[in-house]
């Protein structure tokens, strides 16, 4: 009987040792010295790519202009003699429905403020395209869209302002919407009707 108890006890010890050996190293008990050594070892950082003289280009700082803005229409301003198109939006032309309203909304936003224009590029008409900000950091493009007097132009903005559009903005600014969709015949028809009435 004693031999049977000893065999069972030995079997339990062997099984316990095997179970302990199968555990991952992190669960084994370590001395405080071993823990310190492990935590002080830094992780390997990714190696930077070697410098390539052939493809390297100097990094240019973004160019910006700051000053009072003269308003041309709902999406165009002039700062220090530079005509600027607001990035990513389309507002009605002055002679289109809501065109005057859009211009005067932008006048109210910019009145008494210094506008900062972060220049991005030149557009097809030679105008400077820029993200424009008021002194308090508000984006002029988003403010015009929120007021329902401009619509997002996804081709240029990547849809950045789409979520800010008011429900009926595209119906109100149907000419701007038509331009974005390439339906220039709608513009031509509007111009022809306007010329008849003059």
pLDDT attached to residue 30? 47
Least confident of 67-76, 103-112, 172-181, 182-191: 182-191
Q: How far is CA 152 from CA 79, 102, 163, in A?
A: 23, 14, 9
Q: What is the pLDDT of residues 1-13, one digit of tens each?
A: 677 777 777 777 8
Task: Place 115 in a pLDDT band, splitting at 50, 70 and 90.
Answer: very high
DSSP state of 136: T
Tell me the HSE value of 166 on the side-chain side, using a 13 A CA sphere: 13
What SS3 class is residue 121? strand
Residue bearing tokens 């002029």:
140
Q: What is the pLDDT of residues 59-82, one digit of tens each?
A: 666 689 999 999 999 999 999 999
Total residues found in the chain within this entry: 198
Higher pLDDT pick, 17 / 97: 97
CATH number for the region 64-184 comes to 2.40.50.90
Q: Which residues pair with 151 in a beta bridge?
A: 90
Q: What is the pLDDT of residues 22-73, one digit of tens each?
A: 555 544 454 444 444 444 445 555 666 777 777 777 766 668 999 999 999 9
Q: Which residues pair with 67 in a beta bridge?
A: 115
Return d(Cα 164, Cα 159) in angstroms, integer.
10
pLDDT attached to residue 116? 97
What SS3 class is residue 57? coil
Cα dihedral across residues 103, 109, 114, 115: positive or negative: negative
Q: How far is CA 47 from CA 12, 34, 44, 54, 170, in A?
A: 50, 28, 9, 20, 50
Q: Beta 82-86 vs 76-79: how paired, if at all?
A: antiparallel
Least Cα distance to 153 among 122, 182, 115 occurs for: 182
The residue-averaged pLDDT of 128-134 equals: 95
As a whole number of angstroms, the longest Cα–Cα distance in the chain is: 120
Q: How far is CA 169 from CA 59, 142, 162, 179, in A?
A: 39, 13, 11, 14
Question: Above 80 in pLDDT, residue 105?
Answer: yes
DSSP state of 50: P
Return d(Cα 154, Cα 89) in angstroms, integer.
8
């Amino acid at each position: 009987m004693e031999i049977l108890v000893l065999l069972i006890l030995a079997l339990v010890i062997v099984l316990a040792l095997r179970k302990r050996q199968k555990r991952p190293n992190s669960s084994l008990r370590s001395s405080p010295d071993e823990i310190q050594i492990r935590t002080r070892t830094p992780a390997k950082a990714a190696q930077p790519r070697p410098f390539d003289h052939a493809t390297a280009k100097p990094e240019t700082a973004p160019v910006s202009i700051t000053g009072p803005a003269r308003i041309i229409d709902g999406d165009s301003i002039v700062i220090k003699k530079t005509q600027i198109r607001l990035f990513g939006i389309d507002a009605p032309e002055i002679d289109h429905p809501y065109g005057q309203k859009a211009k005067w909304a932008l006048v109210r936003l910019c009145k008494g403020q210094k506008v900062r224009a972060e220049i991005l590029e030149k557009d097809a008409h030679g105008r400077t395209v820029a993200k424009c900000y008021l002194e308090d950091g508000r984006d002029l493009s988003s403010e015009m869209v929120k007021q329902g007097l401009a619509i997002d132009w996804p081709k240029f903005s990547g849809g950045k302002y789409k979520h800010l559009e008011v429900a009926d903005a595209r119906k109100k600014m149907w000419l701007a919407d038509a331009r974005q969709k390439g339906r220039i015949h709608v513009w031509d028809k509007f111009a022809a009707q306007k010329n008849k009435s003059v």
